Amino acid sequence: MSDDNKSGNQDRNSRKNTDFNRIPPKTWIIWATILTGAMVVLMLRERMEPPTEFLSQTAFIEKVDSNLVARATITYDPQSPFLTEILGEYKRTDKEGKVIVGKDGKEELVAFRSKARLTEKMENKLLETGKFEPRQPNLMLMNILSYALPMLLILVFVWFFFIRQLKMAGKGALSFGKSKAKLLNKEKNKTTFKDVAGVEEAIEEVSELVDFLKDPKKFQRLGGRIPKGVLMIGPPGTGKTLLAKAIAGEADAAFFSISGSDFVEMFVGVGASRVRDMFEQARKTTPCLVFIDEIDAVGRSRGIGMGGGNDEREQTLNALLVEMDGFDTTDGIIIIAATNRPDVLDPALLRPGRFDRQVTVNLPDVRGREAILKVHAKSVKLAPVVDLSVIARGTPGYSGAELANLLNEAALLAARRGRKSIGMAELEEARDKVRWGRARRSLAMTDDEKRNTAWHEAGHALANVLLEHTHPLHKVTIIPRGQALGSTMSLPKDDVFSHHRKQMLDTIAMMMGGRIAEELIAEDVSSGAAGDIQQATNLARAMVTQWGMSEKLGMVQYGGDDEYVLLGRDLGRTKGYSEDTAREIDSEVKAIINHCYQVAKELIVTHRDKLDMIANGLLEYETLDGAQVHDIVRNGTFTPPAPTPEMDPPRGAQAATPLPETPHKPAPPKLPGLGTAAPAPV
């Protein structure tokens, strides 16, 4: 452990001790102490008082008849007029009935207590002896309690349910209008830009917010105005929340965090009240950052609901708009919001003066993925032979959260295998598991099903190698993983940001290879090509309607981007093109798929012997890497794979090369991925 880590741990321990000393005692501890003290006092009082003997009515009358009662008092019970309590002392006697006299010459007395039913004659007889004294009970306390106790209960009820609840900000039953924003103090927030990786452009974009919080006069001197709000846009898991915490940590400012769904409750007006209370708290702790996660929950466009909109949500949005426009930049309050649905936000929320700036937090590229892996690798123990750059190249499209989960899964896998450190085999297995699920080696597949799957995946692999514009084949396997019975995976050499027409046509042809191989071997088709057909159809339709790759229809976009549909807004929209054009689009999509199908069929029929070699290799070893398939296709030779450690007892050997790609069978993927590990939207 380095000196910096040791000093950091010491600082954290000292802060924990300091915070613990500052914590006031809990209410229940105080009440427990009071009750314990009262019990101790009562026990001591009982021990200090002389022991009292209880006499039954018969025993008491015997003492009276024997003239042994020295003195006593008769107290009348107001609740039972016929039952009286008698307290006094009687003379102690020996076995022979003689009174015992002590060393001081005085008779020994014993305190007694008795409850007896005395008749009027018996009572007069006792009083005539002169040893008994009548006493009326003190009913003053009883009368006071009978009148005061109801009033006291009413006051306690009023105090608990009204005054106390109003004082308990954010905790009482009547405090539903208080903000639920969590305050992360400067002492607790130690996240800085060093803990954020893979989003260098976004860090540069928000770095001036840190400068403003540290030295506002630097900007105000020149008349500059810092943005009031910053909207972070990006896919889930890219680090939007982490980046916001890093801004607060760098600026040494307070950090309020709240979710958009925390504003709206079942009571009308609660959301707007919480918005006002949140900004009121922020003004008391300036400079500060207010982070609203998933702001689309409360910031959706107004007036788009099926019934005219949700009035409560719109009131909350109106309060947010007024508060953001109400405070000026000298307050030292900066609003940061995060969402992955910017298309549904209200335009008034995005205008200059509110969320003036939009920061896009994209998925990391290969260098960003390597930097993210290095940040998270500090908390795990890697083997010296591990090369994180190889893992980064094999995980295109992975978000920061997925990369962190990858390392965590690899650590758990290495621990189950009894390893002392995490190796490349564990990282590769974890990469497949994070994206597609754990290998289902226990799945009971018939020989025919396994044979059909082997030829299906062999068709994909053969077409991938023979076609010119596809990504290099990574590996092909018939081991079920997730919902797929097998998969053919290809990885690009570099991150892909745009796709060409020839590349997409070859990708569609590769997708058709599985169905073609099934037809050749079984003279029948199965439902295993459902995912391939869906990918090919979506890709071909995008080529025609969005990317202008149809000579017949030209460079015209038909329809909008329908990836996100907002029902209240998009329900009444028209297609923007006629029914004749729609038929032409369908015809062009079908023509593209049929052309690619014929191209793939000619290749596979011509190289039928290579198809059989790949399929037989899959049946024997279950997994073949790209180099082995390439050797079969180009040279007609096959080198058996070397065994590698498996998490489960192996049924075959699996090659350990860079990581897997998108499965094509049978589970339909999210969107056509053009052979990349992260399907690209089309």
* Closest listed residue to residue 407, CA positions, set 385, 365, 375: 375
User: Does residue 352 form part of some domain?
Assistant: yes
Q: What was the pLDDT predicted at 616?
A: 86
Strand ordering across the sheet containing 473-477 = 487-490, 473-477, 623-625
Marked catalytic residue, from 323, 428, 457, 661:
457
Tell me which residue of 65, 78, 53, 61 sits closest to 118, measured CA to CA.
61
Query: Comparing 27-36, 415-424, 435-444, 666-675, which segment has the lowest mean pLDDT?
Result: 666-675
* Bridge partners of residue 422, in order along the sequence: 382
Closest CA to 610 of 633, 635, 634: 633
Q: Are residues 407 and 497 in the same domain?
A: no
Listing DSSP states for 176-191 in one string gives: TTS--PEEE-TTT---
User: Is residue 22 scored above 70 in pLDDT?
Assistant: no
Q: What tokens does 58 get?
A: 């018969």
What average pLDDT does this structure show over 362-389?
A: 88
616 and 557 belong to one structural domain? yes
According to DSSP, residue 669 is labeled -
Give mean pLDDT, residues 176-201.
70
Q: Choose one of 103, 137, 171: the last residue of a domain.
A: 137
Whether residue 326 is found in the same domain as residue 394: no
Number of C-alpha atoms within 13 angstroms, CB side, residue 222? 7
Neighbouring C-beta atoms of residue 92, cutoff 10 Å: 14
Joined together, the tokens standing for residue 181 give 């924003």
In angstroms, the Cα distances linking 472 to 490, 492, 499, 536 are: 6, 6, 15, 19
Q: Residue-wise over 643-665: b if at least 16 C-beta within 10 A, else e?
A: eeebbeeeebbbbbbbbbbbbbb
Quick one: 251 and 284 in the same domain?
yes
Gap between the Cα atoms of 20 and 23, Å rounded: 5
Rounded to an integer, the average pLDDT of 191-201 is 83
Cα separation, 268 vs 270, in Å, equals: 6
588 catalytic, yes or no? Answer: no
Query: Does residue 524 sit within a domain?
Result: yes
CB 101 within 8 A of CB 108: yes
Cβ neighbours for 22, distance < 8 A, ≥ 6 positions apart: none
Q: What is the per-residue pLDDT for 589? A: 93
How far is the C-alpha of 362 from the C-alpha of 198, rounded, in Å? 9
User: Is the pLDDT confidence value at 272 over 90?
Assistant: no
pLDDT(132) > 60: yes
Q: Which residue has the tokens 């997409």?
A: 504
Which CATH number do you get for residue 283? 3.40.50.300
DSSP assignment of 110-140: EEEEEEE---HHHHHHHHHTSSEEEE----H
Same domain flag for 28 and 108 = no
Residue 306 has pLDDT above 60, yes or no: no
Most distant CA pair in the chain, distance: 135
Helix (H) or strand (E) holding 605: helix 579-606
Helix, coil or strand: residue 664: coil
Of 82, 102, 137, at which residue does a domain stop?
137
Q: Is 225 helix (H, G, I), strand (E, B) or coil?
A: coil
Same domain flag for 269 and 190 = yes
d(CA 181, CA 466): 58
Paired tokens of 176: 């539903």
Q: 42 vs 387, which has greater pLDDT?
A: 387
Structural domain contains residue 302: yes
Residue 575 banded pLDDT, cuts 50, 70, 90:
low
**Phi first, then psi: what are they for 81, rounded to 5°?**
-60, -30
- Cα–Cα nearest to 534, from 673, 666, 668: 668
Q: 5 falls in which pLDDT band (50, 70, 90)?
A: very low
Tokens 């976009």 sit at which residue? Answer: 557
- Is the torsion defined by CA of 445, 448, 452, 455 positive or negative? positive
Tokens representing 206 are: 């928000």
Identity of the amino acid at 656: A
SS3 track for 68-85: CEEEEEEEECCCCCCCEE
Please tell me whether residues 78 and 218 are part of one structural domain: no
Closest among 616, 615, 614 to 627, alpha carbons compared: 614
Contact 563, 680 (CB under 8 A): no
Does residue 601 belong to any structural domain of this protein? yes
Domain boundary among 385, 405, 436: 436
Neighbours of 223 (CB within 10 A): 6
| Mean pLDDT confidence for 508-531 | 85
How far apart CA 489 and CA 230 sit, in angstroms, is: 39
| Packing angle of the helix pair 608-621, 447-466 (nearest 10 deg) | 130
Q: Reduced to 3 states, what is the DSSP secondary structure of residue 54? A: strand
| Of 533, 480, 470, 456, residue with least CA distance to 500 | 470
Is there a domain that residue 521 lies in? yes
Give me the CATH number covering residue 398: 1.10.8.60
Q: In total, how many domains does the chain have?
A: 5
Asked if residue 143 belongs to a domain, the reply is no
Contacts with 180 (C-beta within 8 Å, 6 or more apart), sequence order = 170, 258, 262, 274
Rounded distance between C-alpha atoms, residue 552 and residue 291, angstroms = 50
Helices (H), 523-578: 530-545, 567-570
Asked whether residue 387 falls in the same domain as residue 491, the answer is no
Number of residues that make up the chain: 682
Taking alpha carbons only, the member of 175, 415, 193 closest to residue 274 is 175
Q: Average model confidence (pLDDT) for the chain?
A: 75
Higher per-residue pLDDT: 233 or 56: 233
Domain span including residue 204: 182-360
Report the C-alpha gap between 15 and 9 in whole angstroms: 10
Question: Does 622 have pLDDT greater than 50?
Answer: yes
CATH number for the domain that contains residue 462: 1.20.58.760
Here the tokens at position 641 are: 């794979």
C-alpha span between 298 and 313 (Å, rounded): 6
Q: Is the pLDDT of residue 295 over 90?
A: no
pLDDT at position 540 is 92
pLDDT confidence tier of residue 291, bands split at 50, 70 and 90: confident
Confidence check: pLDDT of 16 > 90: no
Is the pLDDT at 537 greater than 90, yes or no? yes
Q: What is the average per-residue pLDDT within 129-152?
A: 73
Q: Which helix (H) or strand (E) element contains residue 328?
A: none
Statement to judge: residues 30 and 58 lie in one domain:
no
Judge if pTM exceeds 0.75.
no
Q: Are 254 and 289 in contact (CB under 8 A)?
A: yes
Residues 540-574 have pLDDT tens digits of 999 999 888 888 888 888 875 555 555 455 555 55
- The answer as to whether 84 is a domain residue is yes
Residue 596 confidence (pLDDT):
92
- Give the span between the Cα atoms of 362 and 205, in whole angstroms: 13
Same domain, 300 and 389: no
Strand partners, 300: 345
Residue 169 lies in a domain: no
As given in the structure block, the two tokens for residue 478 are: 């018939």
Same domain, 277 and 388: no
Same structural domain for residues 375 and 244?
no
**Highest mean pLDDT (candidates 17-26, 89-98, 498-507, 638-647):** 498-507
pLDDT value at position 539? Answer: 92
Rg of the chain over Cα atoms, rounded to whole angstroms, equals: 42
